[in-house]
Structure 1
Amino acid sequence: MKQPVSLLLLFLLPLFLKAQFIEVSKNNSYLETSDGEPFLWIGDTAWELFHRLNREDATMYLKNREEKGFSVIQAVVLAERDGLNKPNAYGEIPLIEKDPIQPNEKYFEHVDFIVNEAEKLGLVVGMLPTWGDKVTPAHGGGPVIFNEHNAFIFGEFLGNRYKNKPIVWILGGDRNVANEQEKLVWRAMANGLKKGDGENHLITYHPRGYSSSHEKLHHEDWLDFNTYQCGHSHHYMRVYDFAETLSNVEPRKPFLDAEPAYEDIPVEFWNYLDWSNSLPVPEDVLKDDHTIAKRAHFEQGFFDDHDVRVHAYWNFLAGACGYTYGNNAIWQMFEEGGDMAIPCLTDWRDALDRPGAESMRFVREIFEKRPFHLLVPNQSVILGNNPNDSLHVRAAVASDKSFMLVYAGVGQKLNIDLSEMQSGVIAWWYNPRNGKATKIGKIKNESSYQFVPPSSGKGNDWLLVLDNPKAKLKNLKLW
């Protein structure tokens, strides 16, 4: 009997489909897809995704992130929060007897499901084989279970299992390399991944706060691109310092901020917590559902959506090829009434639609309409004093002079040298909070021109878009 066409297609389709792998561009400045299209890394830190969410919640989470324009989901196989002992949503632990050579098939079937759901939505999984506390005793956690031998075997297992999936491997997990022996363990894991997946996927390393992977690992053959963690210590972190440093490190490798300050996390949270107790804060700081009741306990306040946007635009305009958003409730998948590593303002589900997460869709939109991979940082166009605080200004010009972008984090006046834009410019104010633009008009080629944003003050950030009139650029959404 002749098979229906639909069934034949269902059978034959996998033979013609090729997984979309991420590669390094030829100029070593950004990432691209296997068909040569620039890949804009807009990540989310969902460290406990595999460990804590059931399939229904995981699917809902992934759909939400895809709808908001995220392109990468960063999640950990051997999770930080008692990931070796506390079972997943289906009662499964990842390893038998905590042995990396004995993976539990049932646990990994759940990981498979989430990876497959992400693939259906066009999302790449930034997969951490393990949190760093399983390799180093530094900063607590653990237990340490890896050595060179089992790290290679575990890496090979993961590499082979996900060799045909849209994955980027992320070693490290909030830990720096403390000594040569730890470096050998990470190297063995990386080599295992490469053997298992046939070197189909990129590998990077996620370091501790205010650190960069290049500091100890830049010349490792397996490190394809660098990431840094600017951390959670204060507002207006000088993320551009990392970018400027990495732009001058040889050999050139792409770089991105894989963990900036999370939305809704307390500033310098570690100063207000006692992790030796079951609750890290006094009971009266929390409501009955374990969300924060007394925000004043955290004397320096919280990071918000404004911090998220400032760090995103400062990173991109300083040369980064990507940026990872984070929310305090989402990284740990905090459930109301449950336990927490760091107290949260909301349940993780309520955090999905926080303003900082919403603004990621507009980050993606502008850097696709004004392609990020063409940007070359250019601070010389900024005239006058440019302090390293809230008034700091970042600027970048497209390599083909088709456009210039200048970011005013608090709506400050901008004095800009337009002489580099040889045909004059069509100027716009782009609102990073809603993705809409206001046309300023056509301006001649001037050596000095002052732009005044529509509003100013904290939370009133603006992106000045200066287009070459001769360039064929995508239209911006108007008010």
Structure 2
Amino acid sequence: MKHILFILVSFLIIQTSLGQNLPLLKISSDSNYIVTHDNEPFFWLGGTAWELIHRLGKEEIDKYLADRANKGFTVIQTVILAELDGLNTPNAYGEKPLINNDPTKLNEQYFTHVDYVIEKANELGLYIALLPSWGDKFNKKWGTGPEIFNTENARIYGELLAKRYLNYNNLIWILGGDRALENENHFEIVRAMAKGIREIDRNHLISFHPVGAKKATDFLNDKWLDFDMYQSGHSRTAKEYSYVLDSKKSSTKRPIINGEARYENIPDRFWEEKSHGWLDDADVRVSAYWSLIAGAAGYTYGCNDIWQMYDVSKVPIINARTDWQAALQLPGSSQMGFMRRIFEKLSWQKMILNQNLILNNNPENESYILSAISSDKKVVIAYTPIGNPIKIDLAQIDSKRINAYWFNPRSGKIKRIGDFENITPQEFKPWSSGWGSDFLLILTAENYKIDFKDLNK
């Protein structure tokens, strides 16, 4: 009896370690969003942890993943062959990923560590969006490299990874890695890796992480690309919504994710000689709300100190100035959790961008107001990045009376404005304005029930 019990317990442990707790993901029937295998909406709230596998030991990994899970994140984006000399600088346990930098020869000890990250994430309800390699391994540019990939070994490497991780449900493949595709060889290497994965693995979604200010446009006609991803970049002048609008015009319809946006605690436009100050939590919120209200299927938060897992023992990249463990407490990450909570209450996958709702002057600068209405015309949302008043065409809401609320993206709290007759137009003015005073206006039909009570606990 004890022997049978031991076998049963061992089986359950193995099943847990193979990532069976989380459902597989797929593309929604309308090709606009990501859903679970049983068609439940999936909110992609990602975090860039590019150096997680390469630089951290298990205790530190546990701390990072637990923090993100507790704040409502659903996806962690990380890399096997990492950017910061990931081939030749060993991980926290002295292991390099490949034998003699050969992508067809995996170092089992290093990949056991990769396994741990995926399995621990699964325990915490997190998906891992896994980059097989950073882009400098096929196009060095400003990185460390070396360039080790060709079409043959890229395909074999893809096959090896696909076989190893086929039974982990909490996995998403992300190819590319912040590099431009500058010649036909670059394209063929990416396609070869995708082919190697897809020939073995038809369970997991695949996307492509492009260089800054680009979408995965280069592969929009490739069948292996399940969803589009864009990198809107680290600039207060970025118009994150524009990438989504452009994607919606494509004849090839796919969900689109903002996979790398304005990082918290990074110099604004760091590549320019002129100083523009630092990006902060307000930048994070603006880029996130602009992306999602425009119709993105998800958003990925980032922090300059965290992607590189910076501490005082390491050379700071792009003026990193805060220990990554302290940076976990910067306000932007918690505010992303607030955003997920309110959007899920609003049935966000049924919201449709509608700028005709906005009647006041609305220049496309940092004050640009974005609005959307639900497919049943019962809910309207409008986001004002710097607290400018919002004048709304209420006639588009299907109700004789309207309930109105202000949601505070900084605190996650909601304030009831009141209910009133549907007389158009109506102007709503927040209680503060200026940079950092952003608000989400929520208008609902009289009998449309949303329980907001838990937001103010």
Q: TM-score, normalised by structure 2?
A: 0.95
Deviation at 1:324, TM superposition (A): 0.5
Deviation at 1:335, TM superposition (A): 1.1
Contact 2:261 2:287 in 1 (8 A): yes
- SS of structure 1 residue aligned to 2:166: coil
Aligned pairs for 1:160-239 within 5 A = 160-165=163-168, 166-197=170-201, 199-214=202-217, 216-232=218-234, 234-239=235-240
Deviation at 1:260, TM superposition (A): 0.5
Q: Report the aligned-residue RMSD.
A: 1.8
Equivalent residue number for residue 361 of structure 1: 337
Contact 1:319 1:377 in 2 (8 A): yes
Equivalent residue number for residue 78 of structure 1: 81
Equivalent residue number for residue 91 of structure 1: 94
Deviation at 1:15, TM superposition (A): 6.4
Q: 1:433 aligns with which of 387, 396, 410?
A: 410
Alpha-carbon distance between aligned partners in 2 of 1:366 and 1:133, rounded to the nearest angstrom: 38
Contact 2:360 2:390 in 1 (8 A): no
Alpha-carbon distance between aligned partners in 1 of 2:261 and 2:303, rounded to the nearest angstrom: 10
Equivalent residue number for residue 455 of structure 1: 432
Alpha-carbon distance between aligned partners in 1 of 2:338 and 2:12, rounded to the nearest angstrom: 38
Identity of aligned residues (%): 44
- SS of structure 2 residue aligned to 1:228: strand
Deviation at 1:337, TM superposition (A): 3.3
Cα displacement string for residues 188-235 of structure 1 (whole angstroms, at most 9, x for unaligned residues): 1011111232x1111100111111112x11111111111111111x31
Task: Mark the runs of 5 or more structure 2 residues left unpaired by the alignment.
Answer: none
Deviation at 1:404, TM superposition (A): 1.1
Tell me which amino acid in the other structure corresponds to 1:153: I
Q: 2:288 aligns with which of 297, 309, 312?
A: 312
Equivalent residue number for residue 127 of structure 1: 130
Equivalent residue number for residue 444 of structure 2: 467
Equivalent residue number for residue 405 of structure 1: 381
Deviation at 1:72, TM superposition (A): 0.4
Cα displacement string for residues 363-401 of structure 1 (whole angstroms, at most 9, x for unaligned residues): 110111112211110000001321111220000111122
Q: Give 4+ residue runs of structure 1 displaced > 4 Å after superposition.
A: 2-7, 12-19
Alpha-carbon distance between aligned partners in 2 of 1:154 and 1:428, rounded to the nearest angstrom: 52
Alpha-carbon distance between aligned partners in 2 of 1:60 and 1:24, rounded to the nearest angstrom: 31
Aligned pairs for 1:92-111 within 5 A = 92-111=95-114
Tell me which amino acid in the other structure corresponds to 1:194: R
The answer to whether residue 346 in structure 2 is matched with residue 370 in structure 1 is yes
Alpha-carbon distance between aligned partners in 1 of 2:7 and 2:338, rounded to the nearest angstrom: 40
Deviation at 1:342, TM superposition (A): 1.7
Alpha-carbon distance between aligned partners in 2 of 1:263 and 1:23, rounded to the nearest angstrom: 30
- SS of structure 1 residue aligned to 2:260: coil
Which shows bigger deviation, 333-342 or 64-73? 333-342
Deviation at 1:14, TM superposition (A): 6.0
Contact 2:57 2:93 in 1 (8 A): yes
Equivalent residue number for residue 282 of structure 1: none
Tell me which amino acid in the other structure corresponds to 1:189: M
Relative to structure 1, the CA distance from residue 455 to residue 91 in structure 2 (aligned partners, 3 Å threshold; closer, same or farther) is: same
Equivalent residue number for residue 267 of structure 1: 268
Tell me which amino acid in the other structure corresponds to 1:461: D
Relative to structure 1, the CA distance from residue 205 to residue 4 in structure 2 (aligned partners, 3 Å threshold; closer, same or farther) is: same
Contact 1:93 1:104 in 2 (8 A): yes
Q: TM-score, normalised by structure 1?
A: 0.91
Contact 1:132 1:172 in 2 (8 A): yes
Task: Mark the runs of 5 or more structure 1 residues left unpaired by the alignment.
Answer: 273-297
